[in-house]
Structure 1
Protein backbone atom coordinates (compact mmCIF):
# COMPACT_ATOMS: atom_id res chain seq x y z
CA UNK A 1 0.00 0.00 0.00
CA UNK A 2 1.27 3.44 -0.96
CA UNK A 3 2.13 5.67 2.00
CA UNK A 4 4.88 8.07 0.87
CA UNK A 5 4.80 10.53 -2.05
CA UNK A 6 8.22 11.94 -2.97
CA UNK A 7 8.39 15.03 -5.21
CA UNK A 8 11.25 16.44 -7.21
CA UNK A 9 11.16 20.27 -7.35
CA UNK A 10 12.13 21.56 -10.82
CA UNK A 11 9.31 21.14 -13.34
CA UNK A 12 7.31 19.13 -10.80
CA UNK A 13 6.26 21.57 -8.07
CA UNK A 14 7.37 24.59 -10.09
CA UNK A 15 8.21 25.71 -13.60
CA UNK A 16 12.01 25.91 -13.83
CA UNK A 17 12.60 28.15 -16.85
CA UNK A 18 15.61 30.53 -16.72
CA UNK A 19 14.18 32.79 -19.44
CA UNK A 20 10.93 33.26 -17.51
CA UNK A 21 12.87 33.91 -14.30
CA UNK A 22 14.98 36.55 -16.06
CA UNK A 23 11.88 38.22 -17.51
CA UNK A 24 11.27 39.54 -13.98
CA UNK A 25 14.40 41.71 -14.26
CA UNK A 26 14.82 44.73 -16.50
CA UNK A 27 17.32 43.47 -19.07
CA UNK A 28 17.78 44.22 -22.75
CA UNK A 29 17.50 41.13 -25.01
CA UNK A 30 21.33 41.03 -25.35
CA UNK A 31 21.89 41.33 -21.59
CA UNK A 32 19.17 38.74 -20.93
CA UNK A 33 21.00 36.21 -23.13
CA UNK A 34 24.37 37.04 -21.62
CA UNK A 35 23.09 36.68 -18.05
CA UNK A 36 21.30 33.40 -18.86
CA UNK A 37 24.50 31.94 -20.32
CA UNK A 38 26.69 33.31 -17.52
CA UNK A 39 24.50 32.02 -14.67
CA UNK A 40 22.05 29.31 -15.64
CA UNK A 41 24.10 27.65 -18.39
CA UNK A 42 27.40 27.71 -16.50
CA UNK A 43 29.28 24.77 -15.04
CA UNK A 44 29.13 26.61 -11.71
CA UNK A 45 25.33 26.38 -11.71
CA UNK A 46 25.62 22.58 -11.71
CA UNK A 47 28.35 22.78 -9.05
CA UNK A 48 25.95 24.69 -6.76
CA UNK A 49 23.49 21.79 -7.04
CA UNK A 50 26.19 19.19 -6.42
CA UNK A 51 27.44 21.06 -3.34
CA UNK A 52 30.91 21.74 -4.78
CA UNK A 53 30.54 25.49 -4.41
CA UNK A 54 28.18 27.82 -2.55
CA UNK A 55 25.88 30.36 -4.17
CA UNK A 56 28.11 33.11 -2.76
CA UNK A 57 31.22 31.64 -4.40
CA UNK A 58 29.36 31.21 -7.69
CA UNK A 59 28.11 34.81 -7.53
CA UNK A 60 31.70 36.11 -7.32
CA UNK A 61 32.59 34.07 -10.42
CA UNK A 62 29.52 35.28 -12.34
CA UNK A 63 30.20 38.92 -11.41
CA UNK A 64 33.76 38.59 -12.71
CA UNK A 65 32.48 37.45 -16.11
CA UNK A 66 30.03 40.27 -16.93
CA UNK A 67 30.57 43.92 -17.88
CA UNK A 68 30.51 46.50 -15.06
CA UNK A 69 26.97 47.63 -15.91
CA UNK A 70 25.62 44.11 -15.17
CA UNK A 71 27.57 43.30 -11.98
CA UNK A 72 24.95 44.62 -9.54
CA UNK A 73 22.15 43.04 -11.63
CA UNK A 74 23.83 39.63 -11.47
CA UNK A 75 24.21 39.99 -7.71
CA UNK A 76 20.52 40.94 -7.39
CA UNK A 77 19.43 37.97 -9.55
CA UNK A 78 21.47 35.50 -7.51
CA UNK A 79 19.89 36.72 -4.27
CA UNK A 80 16.29 37.03 -5.49
CA UNK A 81 15.73 34.48 -8.29
CA UNK A 82 13.82 31.93 -6.12
CA UNK A 83 11.14 34.57 -5.51
CA UNK A 84 10.61 34.80 -9.28
CA UNK A 85 9.87 31.14 -9.93
CA UNK A 86 6.35 30.19 -10.99
CA UNK A 87 5.13 27.50 -8.59
CA UNK A 88 2.39 25.11 -9.72
CA UNK A 89 -0.63 25.88 -7.56
CA UNK A 90 -2.58 22.78 -8.77
CA UNK A 91 0.29 20.55 -7.58
CA UNK A 92 0.26 22.14 -4.11
CA UNK A 93 -3.53 21.79 -3.97
CA UNK A 94 -3.09 18.10 -4.78
CA UNK A 95 -0.37 17.75 -2.13
CA UNK A 96 -2.79 19.22 0.40
CA UNK A 97 -5.40 16.60 -0.58
CA UNK A 98 -2.81 13.83 -0.25
CA UNK A 99 -1.85 14.99 3.23
CA UNK A 100 -5.52 15.01 4.26
CA UNK A 101 -5.76 11.42 3.03
CA UNK A 102 -2.87 10.49 5.34
CA UNK A 103 0.03 10.28 2.89
CA UNK A 104 3.48 11.53 3.90
CA UNK A 105 5.05 14.02 1.47
CA UNK A 106 8.81 14.33 0.88
CA UNK A 107 11.08 16.40 -1.36
CA UNK A 108 14.08 14.94 -3.22
CA UNK A 109 15.74 17.52 -5.43
CA UNK A 110 18.98 18.34 -7.20
CA UNK A 111 19.18 21.91 -5.94
CA UNK A 112 21.40 24.41 -4.19
CA UNK A 113 20.69 25.32 -0.59
CA UNK A 114 19.48 28.84 -1.36
CA UNK A 115 16.49 27.51 -3.29
CA UNK A 116 16.04 24.59 -0.87
CA UNK A 117 15.87 26.96 2.08
CA UNK A 118 13.55 29.31 0.21
CA UNK A 119 11.01 26.50 -0.18
CA UNK A 120 11.52 25.14 3.36
CA UNK A 121 11.13 28.55 4.99
CA UNK A 122 8.11 29.64 2.94
CA UNK A 123 4.55 28.43 3.47
CA UNK A 124 5.33 25.74 0.86
CA UNK A 125 7.52 24.10 3.47
CA UNK A 126 4.39 23.22 5.44
CA UNK A 127 3.39 20.71 2.78
CA UNK A 128 6.46 18.49 3.30
CA UNK A 129 7.31 15.95 6.00
CA UNK A 130 10.99 15.89 5.06
CA UNK A 131 13.57 16.59 2.36
CA UNK A 132 16.85 15.47 0.86
CA UNK A 133 18.77 18.05 -1.20
CA UNK A 134 21.72 17.34 -3.48
CA UNK A 135 23.83 20.31 -2.35
CA UNK A 136 23.57 19.24 1.28
CA UNK A 137 24.32 15.57 0.57
CA UNK A 138 26.93 16.28 -2.14
CA UNK A 139 25.15 13.63 -4.20
CA UNK A 140 23.04 14.09 -7.33
CA UNK A 141 20.16 12.09 -8.75
CA UNK A 142 20.23 9.59 -10.39
CA UNK A 143 22.98 8.35 -8.00
CA UNK A 144 21.24 5.61 -6.00
CA UNK A 145 22.88 6.84 -2.77
CA UNK A 146 20.78 10.02 -2.66
CA UNK A 147 17.58 7.93 -2.78
CA UNK A 148 19.02 5.65 -0.09
CA UNK A 149 19.65 8.73 2.11
CA UNK A 150 15.97 9.65 1.89
CA UNK A 151 14.86 6.07 2.62
CA UNK A 152 17.20 5.78 5.62
CA UNK A 153 16.60 9.25 7.04
CA UNK A 154 12.82 8.92 7.14
CA UNK A 155 12.70 5.12 7.56
CA UNK A 156 10.67 4.60 4.39
CA UNK A 157 9.72 1.30 2.83
CA UNK A 158 10.54 1.71 -0.90
CA UNK A 159 7.57 -0.50 -1.84
CA UNK A 160 5.22 1.93 -0.05
CA UNK A 161 6.74 4.95 -1.83
CA UNK A 162 6.35 6.71 -5.18
CA UNK A 163 8.91 9.09 -6.64
CA UNK A 164 7.75 11.83 -9.05
CA UNK A 165 10.35 13.52 -11.28
CA UNK A 166 10.39 15.15 -14.71
CA UNK A 167 13.45 13.15 -15.89
CA UNK A 168 13.18 9.48 -16.84
CA UNK A 169 16.75 8.71 -15.68
CA UNK A 170 15.73 9.81 -12.17
CA UNK A 171 12.48 7.85 -12.08
CA UNK A 172 14.28 4.77 -13.47
CA UNK A 173 16.80 5.00 -10.59
CA UNK A 174 13.94 5.05 -8.07
CA UNK A 175 12.39 1.95 -9.67
CA UNK A 176 15.67 0.07 -9.29
CA UNK A 177 15.38 0.61 -5.53
CA UNK A 178 11.89 -0.87 -5.49
CA UNK A 179 9.87 2.35 -5.54
CA UNK A 180 6.98 3.15 -7.79
CA UNK A 181 7.84 6.08 -10.05
CA UNK A 182 6.07 8.55 -12.33
CA UNK A 183 7.74 10.73 -14.97
CA UNK A 184 5.88 14.02 -14.68
CA UNK A 185 4.97 17.08 -16.69
CA UNK A 186 2.35 19.55 -15.44
CA UNK A 187 -0.12 18.46 -18.13
CA UNK A 188 0.09 14.92 -16.68
CA UNK A 189 -1.28 15.92 -13.27
CA UNK A 190 -4.57 14.11 -13.94
CA UNK A 191 -2.68 10.93 -14.92
CA UNK A 192 -0.59 11.16 -11.74
CA UNK A 193 -3.70 11.52 -9.58
CA UNK A 194 -5.26 8.49 -11.24
CA UNK A 195 -2.04 6.46 -10.87
CA UNK A 196 -1.78 7.23 -7.14
CA UNK A 197 -5.46 6.54 -6.48
CA UNK A 198 -5.05 3.12 -8.14
CA UNK A 199 -2.17 2.19 -5.85
Structure 2
Protein backbone atom coordinates (compact mmCIF):
# COMPACT_ATOMS: atom_id res chain seq x y z
CA UNK A 1 0.00 0.00 0.00
CA UNK A 2 1.35 3.42 -0.99
CA UNK A 3 1.78 5.89 1.88
CA UNK A 4 4.54 8.14 0.53
CA UNK A 5 4.72 9.77 -2.90
CA UNK A 6 8.05 11.13 -4.11
CA UNK A 7 8.16 13.57 -7.02
CA UNK A 8 11.05 14.52 -9.27
CA UNK A 9 10.83 18.20 -10.29
CA UNK A 10 11.88 18.70 -13.94
CA UNK A 11 9.11 17.66 -16.35
CA UNK A 12 7.08 16.21 -13.47
CA UNK A 13 5.93 19.20 -11.43
CA UNK A 14 7.21 21.75 -13.93
CA UNK A 15 8.03 22.11 -17.62
CA UNK A 16 11.82 22.33 -17.75
CA UNK A 17 12.56 23.70 -21.21
CA UNK A 18 15.57 26.06 -21.67
CA UNK A 19 14.14 27.57 -24.86
CA UNK A 20 10.90 28.50 -23.12
CA UNK A 21 12.83 29.94 -20.17
CA UNK A 22 14.92 32.09 -22.55
CA UNK A 23 11.78 33.31 -24.34
CA UNK A 24 11.11 35.40 -21.21
CA UNK A 25 14.17 37.54 -21.96
CA UNK A 26 14.61 40.07 -24.77
CA UNK A 27 17.00 38.22 -27.05
CA UNK A 28 17.35 37.89 -30.79
CA UNK A 29 17.60 34.38 -32.25
CA UNK A 30 21.41 34.40 -32.33
CA UNK A 31 21.67 35.59 -28.70
CA UNK A 32 19.06 33.06 -27.61
CA UNK A 33 20.97 30.15 -29.18
CA UNK A 34 24.30 31.34 -27.82
CA UNK A 35 22.98 31.69 -24.26
CA UNK A 36 21.23 28.32 -24.39
CA UNK A 37 24.52 26.65 -25.34
CA UNK A 38 26.62 28.76 -22.94
CA UNK A 39 24.37 28.25 -19.90
CA UNK A 40 21.92 25.37 -20.13
CA UNK A 41 23.95 23.05 -22.34
CA UNK A 42 27.26 23.61 -20.53
CA UNK A 43 29.08 21.06 -18.39
CA UNK A 44 28.92 23.63 -15.58
CA UNK A 45 25.11 23.44 -15.59
CA UNK A 46 25.36 19.73 -14.70
CA UNK A 47 28.06 20.55 -12.15
CA UNK A 48 25.63 22.93 -10.39
CA UNK A 49 23.17 20.02 -10.03
CA UNK A 50 25.96 17.76 -8.80
CA UNK A 51 27.01 20.30 -6.16
CA UNK A 52 30.51 20.63 -7.64
CA UNK A 53 30.13 24.38 -8.18
CA UNK A 54 27.50 26.86 -7.08
CA UNK A 55 25.44 29.23 -9.22
CA UNK A 56 27.66 32.22 -8.43
CA UNK A 57 30.79 30.42 -9.64
CA UNK A 58 28.96 29.22 -12.75
CA UNK A 59 27.69 32.75 -13.48
CA UNK A 60 31.25 34.09 -13.49
CA UNK A 61 32.33 31.33 -15.89
CA UNK A 62 29.40 32.02 -18.25
CA UNK A 63 30.01 35.80 -18.19
CA UNK A 64 33.60 35.21 -19.33
CA UNK A 65 32.36 33.18 -22.31
CA UNK A 66 30.03 35.73 -23.89
CA UNK A 67 30.54 39.05 -25.70
CA UNK A 68 30.41 42.21 -23.58
CA UNK A 69 26.88 43.10 -24.69
CA UNK A 70 25.53 39.84 -23.19
CA UNK A 71 27.33 39.84 -19.83
CA UNK A 72 24.48 41.65 -18.01
CA UNK A 73 21.97 39.32 -19.66
CA UNK A 74 23.81 36.24 -18.34
CA UNK A 75 23.66 37.73 -14.86
CA UNK A 76 19.95 38.50 -15.22
CA UNK A 77 19.13 34.99 -16.45
CA UNK A 78 21.10 33.29 -13.67
CA UNK A 79 19.40 35.47 -11.06
CA UNK A 80 15.82 35.15 -12.32
CA UNK A 81 15.38 31.94 -14.36
CA UNK A 82 13.48 30.03 -11.61
CA UNK A 83 10.73 32.68 -11.80
CA UNK A 84 10.31 31.94 -15.51
CA UNK A 85 9.55 28.23 -15.21
CA UNK A 86 6.03 27.04 -16.02
CA UNK A 87 4.75 24.83 -13.22
CA UNK A 88 2.09 22.23 -13.96
CA UNK A 89 -0.99 23.49 -12.14
CA UNK A 90 -2.91 20.19 -12.59
CA UNK A 91 -0.07 18.32 -10.86
CA UNK A 92 -0.12 20.71 -7.89
CA UNK A 93 -3.91 20.45 -7.68
CA UNK A 94 -3.49 16.67 -7.56
CA UNK A 95 -0.73 16.88 -4.91
CA UNK A 96 -3.08 19.02 -2.81
CA UNK A 97 -5.72 16.30 -3.10
CA UNK A 98 -3.20 13.57 -2.22
CA UNK A 99 -2.21 15.47 0.94
CA UNK A 100 -5.89 15.75 1.93
CA UNK A 101 -6.17 11.99 1.38
CA UNK A 102 -3.36 11.44 3.91
CA UNK A 103 -0.37 10.73 1.65
CA UNK A 104 3.06 12.12 2.57
CA UNK A 105 4.67 14.06 -0.29
CA UNK A 106 8.43 14.36 -0.91
CA UNK A 107 10.72 15.89 -3.56
CA UNK A 108 13.80 14.13 -4.95
CA UNK A 109 15.51 16.05 -7.72
CA UNK A 110 18.81 16.54 -9.55
CA UNK A 111 18.83 20.29 -9.10
CA UNK A 112 20.95 23.25 -8.01
CA UNK A 113 20.29 24.98 -4.71
CA UNK A 114 19.06 28.26 -6.24
CA UNK A 115 16.07 26.53 -7.78
CA UNK A 116 15.65 24.16 -4.82
CA UNK A 117 15.44 27.12 -2.44
CA UNK A 118 13.10 28.95 -4.80
CA UNK A 119 10.62 26.06 -4.54
CA UNK A 120 11.09 25.59 -0.77
CA UNK A 121 10.61 29.30 -0.04
CA UNK A 122 7.58 29.74 -2.28
CA UNK A 123 4.00 28.60 -1.68
CA UNK A 124 4.94 25.35 -3.43
CA UNK A 125 7.08 24.46 -0.45
CA UNK A 126 3.90 23.94 1.56
CA UNK A 127 3.01 20.95 -0.60
CA UNK A 128 6.01 18.86 0.48
CA UNK A 129 6.86 17.01 3.71
CA UNK A 130 10.56 16.83 2.84
CA UNK A 131 13.18 16.96 0.10
CA UNK A 132 16.47 15.54 -1.08
CA UNK A 133 18.36 17.68 -3.61
CA UNK A 134 21.39 16.50 -5.59
CA UNK A 135 23.41 19.72 -5.15
CA UNK A 136 23.05 19.56 -1.37
CA UNK A 137 23.93 15.85 -1.15
CA UNK A 138 26.59 15.96 -3.88
CA UNK A 139 24.94 12.85 -5.32
CA UNK A 140 23.03 12.54 -8.59
CA UNK A 141 20.26 10.19 -9.62
CA UNK A 142 20.38 7.39 -10.64
CA UNK A 143 23.02 6.78 -7.91
CA UNK A 144 21.24 4.48 -5.43
CA UNK A 145 22.69 6.43 -2.49
CA UNK A 146 20.51 9.48 -3.15
CA UNK A 147 17.36 7.35 -2.90
CA UNK A 148 18.70 5.71 0.25
CA UNK A 149 19.25 9.18 1.76
CA UNK A 150 15.59 10.02 1.19
CA UNK A 151 14.33 6.75 2.69
CA UNK A 152 16.64 7.01 5.71
CA UNK A 153 16.13 10.73 6.39
CA UNK A 154 12.35 10.48 6.51
CA UNK A 155 12.21 6.89 7.79
CA UNK A 156 10.23 5.68 4.77
CA UNK A 157 9.68 2.04 3.87
CA UNK A 158 10.61 1.54 0.22
CA UNK A 159 7.63 -0.74 -0.47
CA UNK A 160 5.23 1.96 0.82
CA UNK A 161 6.81 4.65 -1.36
CA UNK A 162 6.03 5.56 -4.97
CA UNK A 163 8.73 7.38 -6.95
CA UNK A 164 7.67 9.48 -9.97
CA UNK A 165 10.25 10.66 -12.54
CA UNK A 166 10.26 11.42 -16.27
CA UNK A 167 13.46 9.41 -16.89
CA UNK A 168 13.39 5.61 -17.03
CA UNK A 169 16.96 5.30 -15.68
CA UNK A 170 15.85 7.11 -12.52
CA UNK A 171 12.68 5.09 -11.95
CA UNK A 172 14.64 1.86 -12.61
CA UNK A 173 17.14 2.79 -9.88
CA UNK A 174 14.32 3.40 -7.38
CA UNK A 175 12.68 0.11 -8.37
CA UNK A 176 15.89 -1.79 -7.53
CA UNK A 177 15.57 -0.48 -3.97
CA UNK A 178 12.06 -1.88 -3.70
CA UNK A 179 10.17 1.35 -4.34
CA UNK A 180 7.08 1.42 -6.53
CA UNK A 181 7.69 3.60 -9.57
CA UNK A 182 5.89 5.52 -12.30
CA UNK A 183 7.63 7.02 -15.36
CA UNK A 184 5.76 10.26 -15.95
CA UNK A 185 4.94 12.77 -18.68
CA UNK A 186 2.28 15.43 -18.14
CA UNK A 187 -0.11 13.68 -20.55
CA UNK A 188 0.04 10.62 -18.26
CA UNK A 189 -1.46 12.41 -15.26
CA UNK A 190 -4.70 10.41 -15.60
CA UNK A 191 -2.73 7.13 -15.67
CA UNK A 192 -0.81 8.20 -12.55
CA UNK A 193 -4.06 8.98 -10.74
CA UNK A 194 -5.45 5.55 -11.68
CA UNK A 195 -2.24 3.85 -10.54
CA UNK A 196 -2.28 5.53 -7.11
CA UNK A 197 -6.01 4.91 -6.67
CA UNK A 198 -5.51 1.18 -7.30
CA UNK A 199 -2.47 0.78 -5.00
Match of 1:37 in 2: 37
Structure 2 gaps of 5+ residues are none
Corresponding residue for 2:124?
Answer: 124
- Partners of 1:117 and 1:93 in 2: how far apart? 21
Output the CA distance in 1 between the equivalents of 2:24 and 2:30.
Answer: 15
Q: CA deviation at 1:8?
A: 0.1
Distance 1:83 1:147 in 2: 28
What's 1:91 paired with? 91
Whether 1:64 and 2:64 are equivalent positions in the alignment is yes
User: 2-side partners of 1:62 and 1:122: how far apart?
Assistant: 27
Report the 3-state secondary structure (helix = DSSP H, G, I; strand = E; otherwise coil) of the residue aligned with 2:64: helix
Alignment partners' CA distance in 2, 1:198 and 1:50 = 36
Q: 1:13-61: CA deviations, max 9, x gaps?
A: 0000000000000000000000000000000000000000000000000
Task: Name the counterpart of 2:81.
Answer: 81
In 2, distance between residues paired with 1:75 and 1:101?
Answer: 43
1:148 aligns with 148
Report the RMSD for the aligned CA atoms in angstroms. 0.2
Name the structure 1 match of 2:179. 179
> Match of 2:12, SS?
coil
How far does residue 191 in structure 1 lie from its aligned partner after superposition?
Answer: 0.2
Deviating above 3 A after TM superposition, structure 1's stretches of 4 or more consecutive aligned residues are none
Aligned residues: 199
Instruction: Provide the C-alpha distance between the structure 2 equivalents of 1:52 and 1:158, rounded to a whole number of angstroms.
Output: 29
State the partner residue of 2:160: 160
User: In 1, Cα distance between the equivalents of 2:117 and 2:162?
Assistant: 24
How far is the alpha carbon of 1:186 from its aligned partner? 0.1
1:87 to partner: Cα distance = 0.1
The 1-side partners of 2:20 and 2:38 are apart by 16
CA distance in 2, matches of 1:196, 1:177: 19
